[in-house]
Structures are given as structure tokens and as C-alpha cells.
Amino acid sequence: MKLFKYLVTGLAVPVLSISCSPQEPAEVPTIDPLTNLEWIDLTYSFDSTTLYWPNNSDGFQHRTDAEGVTDLGYFYSSYTILTPEHGGTHLDSPIHFYEKGETVDELPLSKLTGNAVLIDVSEKALADRDYLIDSVAVLAWESENGKIPENTMVLFRTGYGQFYPDRESYFGTAKTGAEAIPELHFPGIQPETADWLAKSRKVKAVGLDTPSLDYGQSQDFAAHQRLTENQIPGFENMANLDQLPPTGIYVVALPMKIKGGSGGPLRVIAGLRK
């Protein structure tokens, strides 16, 4: 501020003047707890190639409702999507196989975000389409990397992601409908291992790069039952698990928030320390 004299009715009056020079505004404080992360997309795009369970009569549909330049001269597009809950990269909510399980909209965000580990069982899984992931495989991983902490997500890489979206290579059969079910052959989690992960390691989510938490020849989906009765969600048809290290992974897995849903399309990403 400057002090100067200004003549008013012949009198010299001291007046205060405020400088009008612009000042830079203070920066808005930001919170970024996930700094220095490289993000990997673990999601397949939803389109005409998206794979669904063989007896799903409907697949993914993306219908054009409007697309083009309007009469007023601006571009506008809008579409309708139609999809079963379970297909492509998606989430299985606990209610999928447990009557008292949480629905998609009831799942707390704490179960959908957090630290994860990657257990690679691809060597055995690719050698045997009916391979069941057992606790021996998990304990072998722990002998090299340490015990899995509680409230960790466990992701299994079977190597079958390399076959997606080729139905025959991925499912074990190119057939669709009820006749395809007996011919499904792909790896899954042994029910006893699912129970052990839930109770002994207290994991908060389990995911893998196959069509199901259970192997293709399962009749009772027991691995699903063991996990869901412990309110543990599952991630199926995950992509790019070959890009993840064994540890140092932070996962964000956010499904479409379907009220009362047993599952839904999932956008899942993994953050890795640079």
C-alpha cells in the first residue's frame, strides 16, 4: 500500500491506496497416497467377442440409439448396452452362491481395493486342463515370498488368459448351450484350498484368468460356495496377469453397482511401484 496526498476542496488529505497488482492464488492441496504407481489394466473390453458361460442365451449387445451430427450442427452419440451379470471380466458377489451373501451394491469398498499377491500356477495348469490349485501351490509361493497377510487379495495366473477370447481354447469346447457343459475343461481352485484361504489366510478377494473360480468339470461349484459363505467376492476372466509380479500390487476392482446384483461387469486395475 502507498500513502499519498490528494486535494479535496483545497485541503491536503492523506489517503491510503491499495495496489491492484494481480497475485497468484494459493494452490489447492491434493492428496495422492498412490504416488509412483504404474497402472496395469486387468480388464477385457466388452464387445461382440466377450465370452459368457455356454448356456447364457444372451451375449453382450451394444445398440446404437443415436450417432452423428444433429440438426443443430453438433455431434452426439448415445448407446444402449445389454449384458448378463456374469461374463467377460466380472465380479462374483457372495450372494451368487450364498443365500445370506452380500449383493454387489452391499460390498464394502474395502473388499474391492487393497494389496494383492500374484501366484503363478501356469506351468501345471497349462499341462493339465483339469488342474486344481491346491494349498501346496500356495505354500510353495509363501516359501519364496513370505506368508500372505490377512485382508489381501489373491490372484492366480493359470496362463489361460492367452487363449481369450477364443472359446474353444479358453473353455475347452467351442460348443454353446447345455451340451457344452459336460465338455468344459479349464483349471480352477480346489474347494479345500478355497476354504483354507478364507479361514487360514483370511483373504478378502480371489481372482484368476479363467471363466470360473471352479474348474470346468465341477458339478457343485464348491470353491464358489466356500468363498462366498465367507463373504469373499471373486474376480473371473481377468486379463494381463502375466504383467504382474508376485508382490507389491495394489488392486482397484470396481464393478457396475447393480442393486441386488449377484455379479456384474468389472473394471479392475493393478498399481505397481515404479
CA 213 – CA 92 distance, rounded (Å) = 9
Q: Which three cell numbers stand for residue 260?
A: 441386488
The pLDDT value recorded for residue 19 is 53
Q: Is 217 exposed, middle or buried (0-12, 13-18, 19+ CB in 10 A)?
A: middle
- Let me know: does 10 contact 48? Beta carbons within 8 Å: no
pLDDT: which is higher, 35 or 121: 121
The pLDDT value recorded for residue 170 is 98
pLDDT: which is higher, 30 or 56: 56
Per cent of the chain over pLDDT 90 is: 85
CA 263 – CA 86 distance, rounded (Å) = 6
Average pLDDT over the chain, rounded to an integer: 92
pLDDT category at 5 given cuts 50, 70, 90 is very low
The pLDDT value recorded for residue 24 is 79
CA 226-230-234 angle, 5° bins: 70
Is omega for the bond preceding 165 within 30 degrees of 0, making it cis? yes
Mean pLDDT of all residues in 216-222:
98
Q: How far, rounded to the nearest angstrom, does the alpha carbon of residue 138 sit from its chain's CA centroid?
A: 22
Beta strands in 121-204 (DSSP E): 132-133, 153-157, 188-189
Q: Which three cell numbers stand for residue 273?
A: 511401484
The pLDDT value recorded for residue 206 is 98
Per cent of the chain over pLDDT 70 is: 90
CA 138 – CA 159 distance, rounded (Å) = 16
- pLDDT above 80 for 27: no
Please write the tens of the pLDDT for every residue from 123-181: 999 999 999 999 999 999 999 999 999 999 999 999 999 999 999 999 999 999 999 99
Q: Read off the amino acid at residue 27.
A: E
The pLDDT value recorded for residue 121 is 98
- Let me know: does 3 contact 236? Beta carbons within 8 Å: no
Nearest CA to 54 out of 170, 193, 141 is that of: 170
The pLDDT value recorded for residue 7 is 39
Q: Read off the amino acid at residue 259.
A: K
Q: How many CB atoms lie within 10 A of CB 267?
A: 15
CA 146 – CA 141 distance, rounded (Å) = 8
The pLDDT value recorded for residue 23 is 76
Task: Tell me the CATH architecture of domain 37-66+75-273.
Answer: 3-Layer(bba) Sandwich (3.50)
The pLDDT value recorded for residue 30 is 58
Q: Which three cell numbers stand for residue 228?
A: 462366498
The pLDDT value recorded for residue 2 is 42
CA 221 – CA 124 distance, rounded (Å) = 21
pLDDT category at 20 given cuts 50, 70, 90 is low
Please write the tens of the pLDDT for every residue from 82-119: 999 999 999 999 999 999 999 999 999 999 999 999 99
